[in-house]
Amino acid sequence: MAAALIACVRPALRGPGRLVQGYRVPDVNHAPLPILKISYCYVLEAFSNGTSLWNDKKEPAQAKFFPPSSKVMLLPDTFKGKVALITGGGTGLGKGMTTALSRLGAECVIASRKLDVLEKTAHEISSETGNKVHALQCDIRDPDSVKKAVAGLISVAGHPDVVINNAAGNFISPSERLSANAWRTITDIVLNGTAYVTLEVGKELIKAGKGAAFLAITTIYAESGSGFVVPSASAKAGVEALYKSLASEWGRYGMRFNVIQPGPIKTKGAFSRLDPMGVFESEMLQRLPCGRLGTPEEIANLAAYLVSDYASWVSGAIIRMDGGEYVFMAGEFNGLQKVTTEQWDIMEKLIRKTKGS
């Protein structure tokens, strides 16, 4: 019995580093390396100390039942004549959502601190779709910067019909090592930044008598909580509370508020740069009931639906899109899927022999 149960358990980590909520963590024998966050995807940086790395990226068999689609889901002119603001729209999921909305006819405005990145992305997407994409520099941590950016948005494109709060920041740390400044660094971006953008745009919409669809991108641990990313988990949970609250209060002004919690998404280029040996990708695949990683296009399709008129009766919703990862990790006995048929036969015989409670 014990041997059978032990056989069910596999180490959660392989190689000299580990993945924690989307961040590569070196082990204690390695010097700290820069932490990298790409949008809201789970990414990792594989590194080698000369030892061979575990490499088996074969998707579980069930992945064949859940093939991804890269096609835009909605009709081509769904957002024709509409304006969309996307924070963090220059890279990662933000870029993916901007691309999808532009393909569907929207005039997009992307905002972040790095104007050069924004301008490059804006030109790239606009050249493909033929629709306008504007780049606005904005530090969402600064209310004055947000106010200036919103004024610029209205000046170049008009009041937005769609607002996607996608910008964020994060780092990993034992909570006992967090300083007040470390806490503020994350909460200023994630919670305060989202609030500043949402409230500033919302006030302008109310004055103009215009409604809009708001969407925030959070994470699955906003719901569960998670150690080592406590400022992020707390701030993301705050964002979800903000959006649920405003869905109730500002519906009278014609505004809707919804949230997407993405799971592990394979961003274009990220794994080739950050996990060249495939050290951890297979571990992620093993805890995904759908048997594969998500794609930016899938998140973009869900986002496009939620901010479209097709979802006009959807407000205050928090939608998890993670290939089943959250429920798999939450289920106490889900790890028993690793038990073989032969091991089940042994355990069944032992269970049947057990008498009493």
CA atoms within 13 A on the CB side of 303: 33
Q: Which two three-digit tokens encode residue 43?
A: 């990414």
Residue 283's pLDDT is: 78
Residue 169's pLDDT is: 85
* Residue type, position 237, single letter: A
Predicted structure pTM score: 0.81
Residue 53's pLDDT is: 32
Give whole-number Cα distances, 126 to 63, 98, 117, in Å: 34, 10, 14
Q: What is the DSSP string of 255-295?
A: EEEEEEEE--B--TTHHHHH-TT-TTHHHHHHT-TTSS-B-
Give whole-number Cα distances, 18 to 21, 22, 25, in Å: 10, 10, 5
Instruction: Give the residues across from 107 on adjacent strands.
Output: 83
Residue 353's pLDDT is: 87
Give whole-number Cα distances, 202 to 79, 160, 191, in Å: 20, 10, 16
Of 23, 196, 221, 243, catalytic = 221
Residue 264's pLDDT is: 86
Told to judge if 221 belongs to the known catalytic residues of this protein, a careful annotator would answer: yes
Separation between Cα atoms, residue 306 and residue 205, nearest integer Å: 19
pLDDT mean by block of 10 residues, the chain; 357 residues: 34 38 38 34 31 52 90 94 97 95 98 96 98 98 98 98 93 92 95 98 98 96 92 97 98 98 75 55 84 93 98 98 92 91 94 78
Cβ contact 273:244 at 8 Å: no
Cβ contact 292:59 at 8 Å: yes
Residue 99's pLDDT is: 97
* Residue-range domains of the chain with CATH: 78-271+295-319 (3.40.50.720)
Number of residues in the chain: 357
Residue 168's pLDDT is: 87
